[in-house]
Structure 1
Amino acid sequence: MGRPLTYRGGLIELWGPAGAKQSQMLLDWYSASHVVHGFLFYGLLHLAAKRWKPGQRLFAATIVEAAWEIVENSPVIIDRYREATIALGYRGDTVLNSVSDIAMMIAGFLLAARIPVWASVMIVLVLELVPLAIIRDNLTLNVWMLLSPNDTVLAWQARA
């Protein structure tokens, strides 16, 4: 789809803050949402695919996450982000960031497999509330604004 491998000129940094480097570097504020994906996929597959081996569940979750990375970086979704969310200058992810997003989902999945449910719930809450407090965005708002944009939420986010 023509996504660049890295940020302009091959620059690779650990953290891509909001702005031009958002979704261009290894990690960014939205990396937390991909960890949450891992927790959610673990929970859903634990319930829906009880007979599958853990490795099969992880493989299925990774396929879904990789498919989302392809869809998320398609022109239609990039345009949707620009028109319905605060991501006015969003250009899509670099390949580096997409691979990192998949790795973050895998990390969340593996962590969810090893800790108690209450700890998973607490981690998901923190991973949703910290970005909400700092950048006024998280997985929940991201999905909400993509599916059913709300002018009040958009105005609140724009005040960040």
Structure 2
Amino acid sequence: MTMLVPAESRTPRAAIWLLACAAVLILQVVVEYWAGRTPICTCGYIKLFEPVANGPGNSQHLADWYTPSHIIHGFLFYGLAHLTLRRKPLAAKLLLALVIESGWEILENSPIIIDRYRTATISLDYYGDSILNSAMDTIFMALGFFFAWRAPVAVTVAIAIFFEIFTGWLIRDNLTLNVLMLVYPLEAVKAWQGGL
């Protein structure tokens, strides 16, 4: 296990950074609970993976077809942190990534973004993530972050492209299309995503 954690992260100072990282995830969960998000799927059980992208179980379980998007978030946030916090320890870079991801998860599960998904995209039945799914999205981002830290850039980029193409082909949605449809919805894309 210590091979995965750099020597710089095994110091007392790094422990403070790591505690701050844990606090961000806990704060995300508390804020979402306070905002009325459901802890787990209202179906009453937990799946490892929800295979139906447009079904009621999407964004309610441990993982789904949007999990690759969150792993790509980790790739991107590692790149951002590497460029902006070059002299800081890895745990400080992770903290930046967690603050961004947790902030997005809280915003994504707010009425304004949920309504935007429902009006601008094909996600007509989207009512937000369960707290479990949202927390797992953040954890998958962290896994992507650590992967990008250890892997060659070319491998990280190739995996991101593969994830985008594969999920785009399989569910007609991916990180790129998700951002596009939230920021600048196109009827042609919406029609294609709806299978029309």
Q: TM-score, normalised by structure 1?
A: 0.97
Runs of 4+ in 1 over 3 A off after TM superposition: none
State the 1:64 CA deviation: 1.0
| In structure 2, distance between residues paired with 1:70 and 1:131 | 24
- Uncovered stretches (5+) of structure 2, i.e. residues with no partner: 1-34
Q: Deviations over 1:65-117 (max 9, x none)?
A: 11110000000000000000010110100000001100100000000000101
Whether 1:116 aligns to 2:152 is yes
Whether 1:80 aligns to 2:116 is yes
| In structure 1, distance between residues paired with 2:166 and 2:98 | 25
| In structure 2, distance between residues paired with 1:9 and 1:87 | 19
| In structure 1, distance between residues paired with 2:109 and 2:62 | 16
State the 1:42 CA deviation: 0.5
**Which one has a bigger Cα radius of gyration?**
2
Q: Deviations over 1:118-147 (max 9, x none)?
A: 001111111111100000000000000000
Q: 1:45: which partner in 2?
A: 81
Whether 1:14 aligns to 2:48 is yes
Q: Please give the secondary structure, in 1, of the residue aligned with 2:57.
A: coil
Residue 38 of structure 2 aligns to which amino acid in structure 1? P
Residue 58 of structure 2 aligns to which amino acid in structure 1? Q
Q: 1:95: which partner in 2?
A: 131
Moved more, 16-25 or 94-103: 16-25
Q: 1:66: which partner in 2?
A: 102
Task: Note the aligned Cα RMSD (angstroms).
Answer: 1.0
Whether 1:30 aligns to 2:96 is no
State the 1:9 CA deviation: 4.7
Q: Larger relative CO (CA 8 A, sep 6+): 1 or 2? A: 1
State the 1:59 CA deviation: 1.1
Q: 2:140: which partner in 1?
A: 104
Work out the number of aligned pairs and report it.
160
| In structure 1, distance between residues paired with 2:168 and 2:135 | 24
- Percent of residue pairs identical: 49
Whether 1:127 aligns to 2:163 is yes
Q: Which of 16, 38, 59 does residue 4 from structure 1 map onto?
A: 38
Q: TM-score, normalised by structure 2?
A: 0.80
| In structure 1, distance between residues paired with 2:45 and 2:99 | 28
Whether 1:140 aligns to 2:171 is no
